[in-house]
């Protein structure tokens, strides 16, 4: 009975807590503010803003949605490689879904 309580997240030592946070959740939720992440976020945000503005002027929903996604996703992804992969995929989707 007490073993289940001792293994709960409230009673983990720092090494166990660090090991428990690795995985997908550490890729998505842990903030890291290095220069590469900031520059990638600014570039994708700018591309998203341009796509959103273009879609709004043309009255087309796909550039608006992709532009919003490009502006928003860097706030939720901390891994730089994952951020670049998602940014490239969304930017390519602007070309693919151009109608």
Least confidently predicted of 20-24, 52-56, 66-70: 20-24
Please give the mean pLDDT across all residues of the chain.
80
Average pLDDT over residues 54-60: 94
Give the whole-angstrom CA distance, residue 15 versus residue 83.
28
- Whether the per-residue pLDDT at 22 is higher than 60: the answer is no
Q: Per residue in 23-47, pLDDT tens? A: 555 555 555 678 888 899 999 999 9
- Note the residue count of the chain: 99
What's the whole-model pTM score?
0.66
């Amino acid at each position: 009975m007490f073993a289940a309580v001792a293994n709960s997240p409230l009673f983990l030592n720092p090494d166990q807590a660090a090991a428990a946070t690795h995985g997908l959740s550490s890729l998505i939720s842990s903030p890291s503010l290095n220069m590469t992440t900031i520059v990638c976020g600014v570039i994708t945000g700018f591309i998203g803003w341009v796509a959103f503005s273009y879609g709004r002027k043309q009255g087309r929903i796909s550039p608006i949605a992709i532009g919003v996604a490009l502006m928003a996703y860097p706030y939720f992804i901390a891994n730089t490689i994952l951020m670049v992969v998602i940014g490239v995929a969304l930017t390519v989707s602007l070309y693919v879904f151009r109608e």
